[in-house]
Structure 1
Amino acid sequence: MAASIGFKKPWNQGIEYYIDEFFIHPDYQGLKVGSRLMQYIEKKCQNEQLNAIILNTERGYPSELFYKNNQFTEHEGLIIMSKSIE
């Protein structure tokens, strides 16, 4: 019904948890399943004394509102960069 895949990584203020994938089956969206999973992840991170949870999402998608409703903030100074490998 729901899953999250992520990993711990160092950053300039300690260790953070990076959420690489976070998804809820469509039949369970809007039922607070995602928020409960996020609360579980946050509690685990607190227990492991991690400094932050970070993730990337696409602007304007429903996921943006979901993360903002779960107290995530946008970092204005950050950009996503990529390089195509041909």
Structure 2
Amino acid sequence: MTVKKLSIEDKKNITDVFTSVFTKAPWYDDWSDTNQLDMYINDLVGQGYSLTYGLFDDDELIGISLGYVKHWYSGTEYIINEFCVKTERQGAGAGSFFIAEIEKAIKEMGIKQIFLLTDSNAPAYNFYKKNGFSEEQTTRPMAKRF
């Protein structure tokens, strides 16, 4: 397996992997609005500060990390908005390999931290804990719907 940086030119393959994972259990995200999906992928991949990685098995894209670089007072961070490995490839170490390779790459860029949000009731929560992530003690996600 290899990890490579991706760009907006890889949008079709990124979208295929993204929807194959997040429209099924345990997420069940409804991405039937293809215009909204297209804009979302553009938001994550098509910006100057975007940092997108792909996990490949030979020539097949099997995992994606969609995020961006944030310059903060305590150091530069990689904010991951979406991270996944194709469902049929989960549970065999691909995700752990992927996150470890991303860590190596971003350390070389001077990035000091990865920050992400995940559902504490989803299997991803334990995956991240197993891979060295910890819960922020004082930071809480907040939302206001209207």
The answer to whether structure 1 residue 41 and structure 2 residue 117 are counterparts is: no
Identify which of 100, 113, 124 aligns with 1:52.
113
The answer to whether structure 1 residue 19 and structure 2 residue 80 are counterparts is: yes
Structure ranking higher on relative contact order (CA contacts 8 Å, 6+ apart) = 1
- Measure how far apart 1:14 and its partner are: 1.2
Residue segments in structure 2 that go unaligned for 5+ positions in a row: 1-61
- What is the TM-score when the length of structure 1 is the normalising length? 0.92
Q: Structure 1 segments of 4 or more deviating over 3 A?
A: none
Q: Which amino acid aligns with 1:9?
A: K
Look up the match of 1:84.
145
Q: Which whole-Å CA distance do the structure 2 matches of 1:23 and 1:69 have between them?
A: 15
Secondary structure at 1:78's aligned position in 2? coil
* Bigger helix fraction: 2
Secondary structure at 1:19's aligned position in 2? strand
- What is the TM-score when the length of structure 2 is the normalising length? 0.56
Give the superposed CA RMSD. 1.0
Q: Which whole-Å CA distance do the structure 2 matches of 1:14 and 1:67 have between them?
A: 21
Look up the match of 1:30.
91
- Measure how far apart 1:42 and its partner are: 0.2
Q: Which whole-Å CA distance do the structure 2 matches of 1:22 and 1:53 have between them?
A: 12
Q: Which amino acid aligns with 2:137?
A: E
Look up the match of 2:66.
5
